[in-house]
Structure 1
Amino acid sequence: MDLVIIGAGGFGREVLDVARDSAASSCSEDLRLRFRGFVDDGSPDLQRLERIGADYLGSSTELARLRGAAYVVGVGNPKVRAQLAARADEAGLIATTLVHPSATIGADVTLGPGTVIAAGVRITTNVRIGRHVHLNLNATVGHDAVLEDFATVNPLAAISGDVVLKQGATIGTTACVNQGLCVGSEAVVGAGAAVVKNVEPATTVVGVPARALGQR
């Protein structure tokens, strides 16, 4: 099956590395995705794409001609990711899941379609991960956690056991969320923050311990 990555920015190109490494480690031709190219509504750096052997297929208006291809969205912003995923689904593309071969996933873990698990990620046991979730480099997710659709966990962030990340929540680089807490929908935890109490929806928290910066 052909693979299309929506978003040709920095993270989108990192997602291509995940896809290629996953394909290289697969023993079965049936499990390999053939990378077709990038779709991007902006102005991607074509020289960078050329250096990594990637084609630019055009904007999201071209999705209809790619009907039947697998896709993931390599865009960090959860709202934009949700919009692009909706367009791809409507155009007849099929969301797939990419897991880097260096990631470790424990027993009783579910991964929703469109989810991307980057290199070095550690997921333990009884974890529920929704649709189009991003777990970036070396992030960790503890036991019994729930990450709802379009949640984003940035590099080196630590999600403790029994944590719930609501839809579209974003956890910044090297941030940590203590056990049993809930980060509300569309909330943002700043880089390096230590979350020691629940985070309200659409709220940005920063610092150690994390305190509310404001609501969006």
Structure 2
Amino acid sequence: MDKIKIDIMYLFGASGHGKVIAEIAETCGIVIDGFIDCDDNKKSVLGYPVFKELPSTTESLVVAIGDNGIRKKIVDNNIDAKYPIIIHKMSTVSKRTLLGAGTVIMAGATINVDVNIGQQCIINTNASVDHDCLIEDYVHLSPNVALAGNVTIGEGTHVGIGVCIIQGIRIGKWCTIGAGAVIIRDIPDGCTVVGNPGKIIRKMND
């Protein structure tokens, strides 16, 4: 496979999530120049060097951190970087899907027609996003999440592993949807939800 050079590209975050994204990049033939991580004990990951700070030559950056708030802070502090979209070859993405800068699509994910996914989102392993969904910036859909059609997920929301959301539901910004929850009602901003059916256990400012 021919290697694809995307300017000078680093992965910000040298832990497990970063390793997964590195392998996706390798599968796509993308050249990685190294990782960025503040952990002094990390000198090399997957054979790539680890730097404590972004080199001045950095042009392209993938923020390989699962925490949505931290990911946003890093992007806000590096507004001049280019953020490539990384898509695993073993995912299925409709040609009529819109993807924002910095979004990563993991292996086995399925994204159907007329889905709009914002910037810096994570669509994790085997997640399913059906037609006409809107996923705002900095959302993380964990492995095996299933969204029916016409679902809206607000900015910064983390949808836990195995969550199911029925059609037409609107989930607010910066929510946490606990693992395995089944969502059958709209959720306002800033809520934590668990259970089947999903129940709000904490609201913003509680």
**TM beyond 0.5:** yes
Give the alignment of 1:27-38 within 5 angstroms.
33-38=30-35
**Is residue 3 of structure 2 the alignment partner of residue 6 of structure 1?**
no
Instruction: Name structure 1 gaps, 5 residues minimum.
Output: 24-32
User: Cα gap change, 1:195/1:158 in structure 2, threshold over 3 Å: closer, same or farther?
Assistant: same
Deviations 1:41-97, CA, capped at 9 Å, x for gaps: 3446446x1xx11210213xx35x134x211111111110000112222xx321110
Write the distance in 1 (CA, Å) between the matches of 2:143 and 2:43: 26
CA contact (8 A) 1:9 1:44 kept: no
| CA positional deviation for 1:151 | 0.6
| CA positional deviation for 1:107 | 3.5
Match in the other structure for 1:27: none
Match in the other structure for 2:62: 72
**Is residue 79 of structure 2 the alignment partner of residue 117 of structure 1?**
no
1:80 is paired with a residue of what secondary structure? Answer: helix
Which amino acid in 2 is paired with 1:53? G
- Aligned match of 2:184 in 196, 201, 210? 196
**RMSD, aligned CA:** 1.4
User: Cα gap change, 1:102/1:183 in structure 2, threshold over 3 Å: closer, same or farther?
Assistant: same
**Is residue 137 of structure 2 the alignment partner of residue 149 of structure 1?**
yes
- Aligned match of 1:133 in 102, 121, 142? 121
CA contact (8 A) 1:169 1:185 kept: yes
User: Cα gap change, 1:4/1:193 in structure 2, threshold over 3 Å: closer, same or farther?
Assistant: same
Write the distance in 1 (CA, Å) between the matches of 2:181 and 2:40: 33
Deviations 1:161-205, CA, capped at 9 Å, x for gaps: 100001001110001111100111000110000001011111000
Which amino acid in 2 is paired with 1:35? I
Write the distance in 2 (CA, Å) between the matches of 1:87 and 1:144: 32
Write the distance in 2 (CA, Å) between the matches of 1:187 and 1:66: 36
Deviations 1:79-136, CA, capped at 9 Å, x for gaps: 10000112222xx321110000001111411100000000110001000000000001
Match in the other structure for 2:169: 181
Write the distance in 1 (CA, Å) between the matches of 2:163 and 2:47: 34
TM-score (norm 2): 0.91
Write the distance in 1 (CA, Å) between the matches of 2:31 and 2:81: 14
2:116 is paired with a residue of what secondary structure? Answer: strand
Instruction: Name structure 2 gaps, 5 residues minimum.
Output: 1-6
TM-score (norm 1): 0.87
1:19 is paired with a residue of what secondary structure? Answer: helix
Write the distance in 1 (CA, Å) between the matches of 2:77 and 2:70: 11
Match in the other structure for 1:39: 36
Write the distance in 2 (CA, Å) between the matches of 1:204 and 1:104: 30
CA contact (8 A) 1:8 1:44 kept: no
Match in the other structure for 2:158: 170
Match in the other structure for 2:49: 55
CA contact (8 A) 1:187 1:202 kept: yes
1:81 is paired with a residue of what secondary structure? Answer: helix
